[in-house]
Structure 1
């Protein structure tokens, strides 16, 4: 026979007892352990509810689960949960997890408030509370302050919560809210020690106000709402001088437009992701849209020698219609815009991108290293052609200066006029360029006439070491 402990995934196969093994009284070796050791064993078994109601353990085991420092109840109705919490005896839980499955009608707000008050009586250090199902006509539930809690994770479908009239979350450092209806300005002033805020919710107001002197990590996700107006803008105002990590994801019909009250000198990680067509309002002319921007850790090497890892800010661009503001305007809104390394990923049905690249470089003219990942969609249509229709006058006559640019890397390079014109202009704009690395598109051969033209560009700029597919290109001897 087996004992299944639910979500923990652990199975115990009880050993059959015998008088020779267990003694004259028939008590198993585990059953003979002191209570303190049995509590320690039970604490590793996972789902507390399964331990409490199984008939495959001795009554003595069932009587000990209320002493556990970690209580995990999953897939249990509110009435049973209330009874289990009433039986728990540990005065200071290290973790308490309650998960109520979807019910129709939904669990009343008064019942949720009652369960949370019962949970608060056990002084948990970590709280996870998950309620599935529908709401009850928008009636808010009350969230206690949990005097010992350093982490609270709430996932309560389409519900709003209110706080007690007085008090604060005196020890709370991490707060995760999912699928709730929230307004951060209502609870952030009551969280003086909060360092991490992760919100994946419906917003009570059109705009979002985040103000915190202690916040170091902020994650905001905009949940799709069937009642939302298409192409609406949701402004996010952030005042968090200690912020180190910021992640914004915009879904559905709304574009979340973040702005910072002042520079964030401690910012290390930045991630913007626009996950639907309607949320992409940043772009260039009618075609290019910002899909995402993020910082990543990459190893940076000079002349093939790896050095310390550095943070690279990656722009990912695609082409759609209807622009609200330019890339330059968006970059100036960011908490950090002193880019030293820029990796630009371009996604397009067509291979016309020079204009958008140089328009962006006008704003980011202090970069030291530029990485370009060129588009590949539809490449098979025009790859054999040296020339295709594009307007070089729109950008090849640009006069920009990139005084600090020393390294250039290009992936998926085609030896066609458009790409070669871009390299020529980069050489002209970057007098300190020292290293150029180009990786040709897979279908491009070094026997192509355009390859010789590319090499001639390199040979005219002998101050830079130029590599193609990893091979150093040196001037031909006369």
Structure 2
């Protein structure tokens, strides 16, 4: 006959009247724990019985709390743990048996401490970002299926306009279903502009330092520029991960673009076009929504100068970009400045002369003109 343990708040002597004790779940089956509030509207602690043979546990904690420090030692065979709506500002998960952890938290987290020697899958979604004093302790050497997503509150005011990071997502190939795919850890950032800092005090660098993985090989940027110059910000950002191999940038996919004012300071600092960043591992660059404006061409000149091993540059123009735009006019000089790079449109064997192709953008009525820059011998 299985033995059972109880889990409750430290110091609690009895279970609040509004919180039920759950019967022990069958061994090796899932159980859902739904809490409630006491008469004063406060979240109560959940008291539950668990089997030591339990292997899978699902908890819904919208209105109650549970102490994992008491629960997990009572489940020495627990392999899978799913927690919906974690309500505390601190999360500690120590388990020698846990292989899969799926957690969502609608609160501002102050601390995460995960120690799980056989953990392979981790999915974390934090809706309200992390506290400014957030600390992370992470020891899970076998994790290869990772999704780490949270809403950000970080900004950068070192440029002419204020850029704000809305969300950050860290993905591994297995989390995307690529079991035998490229060994790319992907960092996906959503960034836009805003008029003021508000109460935000964290920088982009501080925000990115909160992720548990450092070997990022693919950086994906979703930018809502509102018509502002973004080259200085982008170069500063990719400088934080100079070892990336792939860079994918999407500009204003869901936003209507308005031209910024004549005296807008978004060009600052003015010296970004002469900047040199060491991007020795960068091999592929893809830019979607490229309109060929003067500052975008400036970025196009900087990237191959910084990435000496660059093999491919793909630029997607909206169909309505005129042939008289700066990009069309200056592409020949860019190619001449980098003779080791072969310029192709579309793919191998295509004509060098830029032309509009009728490839449709998924979910859009616009066609794209695609330019592909390929290094000779690639």
- TM-score after normalising by structure 2: 0.71
Please, what is the CA RMSD of the aligned residues? Answer: 3.8
Q: How many residues align?
A: 324
Give the match's secondary structure for 1:325: coil
Report whether the alignment pairs 1:463 with 2:336.
no
**Correspondent of 1:281 among 153, 156, 176:** 153
The answer for the alignment partner of 2:270 in structure 1 is: 393
- Equivalent positions of 1:299-448 (< 5 A) are 308-319=181-192, 320=194, 321=197, 322-376=199-253, 380-382=257-259, 390-391=267-268, 393-448=270-325
Asked whether the 8 Å contact 1:158–1:202 carries over to 2, the reply is: no
Report whether the alignment pairs 1:269 with 2:146.
yes
Report whether the alignment pairs 1:153 with 2:153.
no
Residue 356 and residue 196 in structure 1: after superposition, are their counterparts in 2 closer, same or farther (change >3 A)? Answer: farther
The answer for the alignment partner of 1:250 in structure 2 is: 126
Residue 438 and residue 353 in structure 1: after superposition, are their counterparts in 2 closer, same or farther (change >3 A)? Answer: same
The answer for the alignment partner of 1:170 in structure 2 is: none
| Counterpart-to-counterpart distance in 2, 1:466 and 1:310 | 28
- Equivalent positions of 1:221-236 (< 5 A) are 221-223=104-106, 234-236=110-112
| Counterpart-to-counterpart distance in 2, 1:429 and 1:357 | 13
Asked whether the 8 Å contact 2:53–2:76 carries over to 1, the reply is: no
Asked whether the 8 Å contact 1:299–1:309 carries over to 2, the reply is: no
| Counterpart-to-counterpart distance in 1, 2:219 and 2:109 | 27
Asked whether the 8 Å contact 2:218–2:246 carries over to 1, the reply is: yes
Asked whether the 8 Å contact 2:115–2:138 carries over to 1, the reply is: yes
The answer for the alignment partner of 1:21 in structure 2 is: none
- Equivalent positions of 1:1-400 (< 5 A) are 108=17, 112-113=20-21, 116-117=22-23, 123-129=26-32, 131=34, 134-135=37-38, 140-155=45-60, 157-159=62-64, 181-204=65-88, 206-223=89-106, 234-252=110-128, 255=131, 257=134, 259-261=136-138, 264=141, 266-274=143-151, 280-285=152-157, 286-295=162-171, 297=173, 308-319=181-192, 320=194, 321=197, 322-376=199-253, 380-382=257-259, 390-391=267-268, 393-400=270-277
Asked whether the 8 Å contact 1:198–1:219 carries over to 2, the reply is: yes
Structure 1, unmatched stretches of 5+, are 1-90, 93-106, 160-180, 225-231, 275-279, 301-306
| Counterpart-to-counterpart distance in 2, 1:294 and 1:445 | 37
* CA-to-aligned-CA distance 1:171-212 (integer Å, 9 cap, x gap): xxxxxxxxxx133333233333333332223434x3322333
User: Cα offset for 1:215?
Assistant: 3.2
The answer for the alignment partner of 2:366 in structure 1 is: none
Q: Quick check: which has more Rg, 1 or 2?
A: 1
User: Mean Cα displacement is larger for which, 415-424 or 264-273?
Assistant: 264-273
User: Cα offset for 1:388?
Assistant: 9.2
| Counterpart-to-counterpart distance in 1, 2:59 and 2:142 | 31
Asked whether the 8 Å contact 1:281–1:289 carries over to 2, the reply is: yes
- TM-score after normalising by structure 1: 0.57
| Counterpart-to-counterpart distance in 2, 1:246 and 1:392 | 40
